[in-house]
Structure 1
Amino acid sequence: MNSKKEIWNHSIDDIVKGYTESEDGYECIVCGRTFERGRIYPENELLYDACGAVRKHVSAEHGNMADYILGQELGLTGLSEVQRQIMQLMSGGKNDKEIASAVGIAQSTVRNHRFKLREKEKQARMFLALTEALEKKTRSRIDISDKGVIEEIHSSATMIDERYGITEQERIKTVKTYMDENGGLKQFPAREKKKIILLREIMKNFKRDVEYTEAEVNRVLKRIYEEDYPGIRRALIEYGFMDRAADCSVYRVKE
């Protein structure tokens, strides 16, 4: 898996823009493409400086960031499926009547969801302020427990809960217990948290932006855990690490 910084680790302003700015230039926070300051970028017979080029890139390749964020897993945005549908329609410029018709709910329900979303926004702002104030007071982040820093969740996780409260020490211990020095799996544990840790390690054998056939995936997984490589393959799909075509002909690392 790539080392690109997860989108939620950027500032709100950068997420809204879709890119970050540094002394050297600009970087798309979605795909990691960089644009060097001082360089001119041609695009459709037009010339752009680095700032213009990254803006053009984000718009052309990833669309509006509101729509991109709404396309992420629900566990990442904290929205319900209905709320996501409503916000997608809002993003498309639909009014309450049109939204109600599209979703199959009453206009009063749409208004109620608008109120709830506004409350969610206020709560999010207060929570961000709280965590920053708490960090300044205690000089410690909320993701640092007695057992160490809680590691990041992969952005395509299908369900985010306490199973993902994994510290570096837990990861190291689990990998040492269940994997050999060559990356082979000794056994696949029943505990969910340990499964997630090991699936993360297994994903290091696959690259983003590469399409794999099922045979290629099986070949990699068979080397890691010949005893039940189909089970590992299914787990990678179920836990949101990989995606596959409906006919299972193509597998990809899930973004």
Structure 2
Amino acid sequence: MTDNNLFWNASIDELKKGYIYDYNKDTYVCLICGKTMENGVIHEYNNQLLTCRKRMEYHIDKDHGGIFNFLISLNKKYTGLTDNQKEILECFYNDMNDKETAKKLSISQSTIRNYRFKLREKEKQAKIFTILMDLTARHSDSNKLVEPHKTATMIDDRYQITKEESEKIIKRYFTEEGGLKDLPSKEKRKIIVLRHIADNFKPNNRYSEKEINRIIKRIYDDYAIIRRYLIEYGFLDRTKDCTYYWVK
């Protein structure tokens, strides 16, 4: 799973590339999976010597199928696109003209032209909305909603969590040493607690069940229930035989 703050705080240009450059660590970071590559290192790939940036571009293209395919496959909660709109955009992305698109999707060319118009209108609305949200955010950082993790099994009112609310819950349920005092029963609080615990696991790392248990047990004695919730709520994934776990 991608670091949500990293992904959602990236600029539009960075999102289009699929990676950012971390000036503090002098590394390139994939916004999809969190993979890092140290700047200045020459990478060998398919009998080619590549710079770090170029290798990251190859990684996004070859390992993730490109940033377009990743973004278009996101949940409708994030894209706001219907299945038909996704199909139309995929055709446009592949340089198909109206006639070719109409034939592939078995609809009329006039319908395609209508989709083009509606999508352009949607683009204009998105620009204005982005500006309005940016201006609003400058006035109230504490009321800013915390982005739900993209692999959440179901996104609903439980995920309407402000930054201030998240900080209060973490302070209430965790000790200064990082231990969990008690597992909350209310869903919204539970999600905040689980997200905080999930931050203890690194993207791209594969953990054995024993390692997972050890990390969780440092935080809460009943590691089995926390491990189960991390899976159920989409923070972690695992192999069918439970041999390995990883950040989803």
Q: Same fold (TM over 0.5)?
A: yes
- 1:128 Cα deviation (Å)? 1.8
Unpaired stretches in structure 2, ≥5 consecutive residues: none
Q: Give the match's secondary structure for 1:144.
A: coil
Query: Contact 1:163–1:193 (CA<8 Å) still a contact in 2?
Result: yes
Q: Give the match's secondary structure for 1:243.
A: strand
Query: Contact 2:173–2:182 (CA<8 Å) still a contact in 1?
Result: yes
CA–CA distance in structure 1, aligned partners of residues 110 and 176 of structure 2: 56
Query: Contact 1:7–1:15 (CA<8 Å) still a contact in 2?
Result: yes
1:109–1:158 Cα change, 3 Å: farther
Structure 2: which amino acid aligns with 1:235? Answer: Y
- 1:7 Cα deviation (Å)? 2.2
String of CA shifts for 1:63-86, please: whole Å, max 9, x gaps: 321012123344333334554465
Q: Provide the residue aligned with 2:234 in structure 1.
A: 240
In the TM superposition, 1:1-255 aligns within 5 A as: 6-20=6-20, 27-30=28-31, 31-34=34-37, 36=39, 41-49=43-51, 51-80=53-82, 83-84=85-86, 87-88=89-90, 91=93, 95-100=101-106, 111=112, 116-132=118-134, 134=135, 141=138, 144-145=141-142, 149-222=144-217, 224-227=219-222, 229-254=223-248
1:241–1:74 Cα change, 3 Å: farther
CA–CA distance in structure 1, aligned partners of residues 215 and 151 of structure 2: 21
Query: Contact 1:20–1:29 (CA<8 Å) still a contact in 2?
Result: yes
Q: Give the match's secondary structure for 2:199.
A: helix
String of CA shifts for 1:6-32, please: whole Å, max 9, x gaps: 223222222222234688977244335
- 1:195 Cα deviation (Å)? 0.9
Query: Contact 1:212–1:252 (CA<8 Å) still a contact in 2?
Result: yes
Q: RMSD between aligned alpha carbons? A: 3.9
- 1:197 Cα deviation (Å)? 1.2
Q: Give the match's secondary structure for 1:153.
A: coil
1:142–1:231 Cα change, 3 Å: farther
- 1:218 Cα deviation (Å)? 4.2
CA–CA distance in structure 2, aligned partners of residues 253 and 109 of structure 1: 45
Identity of aligned residues (%): 40
1:28–1:168 Cα change, 3 Å: closer
1:33–1:250 Cα change, 3 Å: closer
String of CA shifts for 1:82-120, please: whole Å, max 9, x gaps: 5446545665667333335xxxxx669974766554443
TM-score (norm 1): 0.69
Q: Provide the residue aligned with 1:103 in structure 2.
A: none
